[in-house]
Structure 1
Amino acid sequence: MAPLSPKWTWRQTEATVTADVDVKGVSKKACDIFLSDRFLKVNAPPYLLGLDLWGEIDEERSTATVSQGLITVHMYKRAPGSWDELHLDLSDRAERASVLERRKESIERAHKKQEEKRKERIALREREQREAQDRSFELDRKKRQAIDDAKNRELLDAREEIASFTSKKPAARQEDQQQKREEATDSESDLEEDGGAGGEEGEAPQEEESQGEEESEEEEIVILPPPREKMASVEVEFTPTIVDNLPAREGREEELKLIRRSQGKPDDLASETDLTERHPIFLKDKGDKMSKHGNFKGALRAYNRALEIDPSHLLCICNRSMCYLRLGEASKAEEDCRKALGMIAGEESTSAPEMEDSEKKHMLRIKMSGRLAKALAAQDRTKEVIEELENALKLSSNYPEIKESIQRDLDDAIACESVSFEGPLDQIVDLTTTKLKPKIESIKKLADTRIKQQDPKGALRVYKQISNFISEVRNKCDLDAFQLMDKEFLLEMKLACFSNSASAYLMLGDFVSSIDSCKGAISAVVTLFELYYDFPKDEEDGDVERLIALIEKLLDLLRETPGRSSHLFEGKREKYVLSLVRILRRMSSACGHLKDYGLGVKILEVGLTATRMCELGSISTEITKDLRNLSVLQAQHCK
């Protein structure tokens, strides 16, 4: 677009000339004005004005102002007088070349002046910086000089004090000696006045005493005791080993006994075993340390060894029940919990000092009731779980935090118990009339709340119960008799349970279980699409890579084939694909934590294809970012 020529007017006096340029709608910041002794240029896009002035002006004194779309240039003439025009006419070709040459020279002079001013400003700034630096150096020098002068004065004062003290010391010593001589003379005169001849005899000891004092002042002799004639030996005893060159460890007593028999030694190890292997207290501490570090098998061996020595050790029984729970032996954990509760109630004898403190006894009873409920829950005995938790809830009435935790577990147990059908499962033909549908929905909401409350373990318990019930219904019921909406509901609940379980396992750091849950969720998604598409899923139970291939086939089918019940499937296609993409993101995250970056990249690439196919823009951006980060980690891992 060519620039526009603005409207302008001018006026003059004998000494000045003023030009007003109209640039409506142009801001002050956009205006650029150049003025030399023979040329005026105004650049205010979209306006452009260039004038070769009639006469010569003093650009140093000239000024320009911009106000409300009007540029006013006030110029001072070099020579007073009247101008015929503000600018020269360039229409005459004969004069045009000379005018342009004059313009060029004027602009060069202006640029030269600007360059000289710039250099002057730089030189001035450098000179000011040097002067400021010199002043700073001078100030620092004066400060250092003042500090040195103060040090020298203090040094001179100290030397004068030492010199005066040194000069006074001999004089003081002479005065003391003179005083002693005078005292000796006085005592001698006293003896002479008494008329005794012993004065002369008493004078010698006085002189000897004074000489002894002078010698003691000069040097003090310290006499050291003589060295010992014989050095005593210290005997060091070490803990005896059970078997030569063989360490004593848990669970190796039988092996040690066989070795000792082959060496002709007695089987009894009690006399030689270390105290930490013979006393239940030390064995309990050993088991506690192993348990804290996740070594539950080692802790279990330590607790078993302690209970062989003292079968009534209450805390070892309590802690062993926890080890059994962690190792998946729920029945043994239940047995230990019931035995511990019997000891606490006084049904069985125990020598535990905790039984003497009523508060510790009460807290231990609450703890073991809760642990017994967990052991029963692991065996799917929900009714007994509810009974134990209700009992623990009554005991914890004075402990708000513990009560809140137990109440949450009790709500989960009651919810899981409500997912049941009174009667044979094969009689279920309608989820609405049997009131199972609202129950399952409310229980799923409870589990979702557990996830939001950062309680993944509680959520997993509920999701597992719902998934097991849905699987049991699908296995025992005639699904062909179900309505399409009921089939969809069961599969959607299964999908939600597996997908959210994968998220809960990620929160707990159990990445392998998270991948397994993602597999179950993918199976549910594929089954949902089977309701509307002819799609065989004979590979659904394969590994992750076979599942990826299955999903790619499914996406190809969705891209090419419309649903056979499109009026019912309307709006659900994008919903199920979005669920599938979220599952793939969680699976890739678990693979990344397991450092299987290549598989994680493949999974995200499939998810990105799905988002682009359904035009899911926001989540597509997130997957692209995840894919970039995972690719960087893969490259670093390969290096």
Structure 2
Amino acid sequence: MPIAIRDHTWEQTDTNVFINVPLKGVKTQKVDIFSTDEYLKVSFPPYLFECFLYAAVDDDSSSAKIGNGMVVFKLTKKSPEIWPELQTNEIENKEALKAKRATAITYAQERSERKEKERAEQKRQDDKYALKEAMKLDSEERERIADVKRSAITEANEDLENWKEEQKLQSEQQKIKEAEERRFREALRKRDKKKSPGKIATDKDTTNGIFEDEVKVQPSEIRQPGKIEVSFTHRDFPTAARESTAGLEEEWLKKQNEARRIRDTEDDNLTEEERNPVWLRDKGNEFFKTGNYQAAINAYSHAIKLQSKLPALYSNRAACHLKLGNCMKCLEDSSTALDLLTPPVPQNAAARVKAHTRRGTAFCQLELYVEGLQDYEAALKLQPDNPQLRDDADRIRNIIQGSEPT
């Protein structure tokens, strides 16, 4: 049974009460303090101090400090007045004290739950604000990159138009030159006919004015059959080279080849497989299928350290974070995967659908349904015949419109 502390001291003013409780040599780490508006308790086994206050105090603005072998309470009175005594006049009524003690515990529990909810709500609001700011910065960066691309395209188009004008001018000059040559040869033939009818002079004759030989007209020779050799350029994609996406496809191939290069690592403890990001990706896929999402994350993260340009590593790790409820990390990995899945070509359309879907799902779990719908609509543009995507997008749209509960 605990030993009650009786040798405490107290002082007061109109607005405050000061209580000093000796700790009897007990270490401060073992002191437990509990307080409400009408009840104080200091527990430091085997000692116990309980105080049922004469009147209510403001517990939120009150304080308790431990030091120099004492616990010092500074309590703020709710009503400015001088108390005739520290504790309530019901101190001898055990039933009343028991009821006050139970009320204090219930009040403390409710206050703790309320503050926990407030902290959780504040954290959610802070995360939401941070996410919006990050999205704003990301949007500004994307707009800047888009401006640079538009400027480069405009400059390229201007260069192309200038080249076309130059080619057109050269073609016109060539036509004028050929026309002048034809007129000159026609004039020479007319002059030669006047000098010697029935003879055709060679260019050598016209220069020295002497006709030596007549040009004999030979019968036309029969053309011999020939062959036309046709060669085909090797293509890694099924599309024709003349199509406008050929350049983008070649760029995508180059990026994938670069991404599959294995980086050298200085850790001699790793096996040859552990140095291969593709092997680590497959290992992570196996962990994911068995439901071991944390092990899959570790495998993908190690692969990213070896090769940070493979979009599948980020997209797969985003799926693991989504399974574990790590929505912010899922958003980051999905966005990184989409940045690496450029240029957008048919060969990476399925991967872009997965990244958009995972990021959209993470947005919806954070109750950012408008942003989530944008990702689902982007995925639908790539796979318009996917019924699951269409149903999910419709459901998100209904939540935004308020016709379906969240």
Judging by fraction of residues, say which structure has more helix: 1
Same fold (TM over 0.5): no
What TM-score results when the alignment is normalised by the length of structure 1? 0.29
Question: Of the two, which has the highest radius of gyration?
Answer: 1
User: Greater relative contact order (Cα 8 A, min sep 6): structure 1 or 2?
Assistant: 2
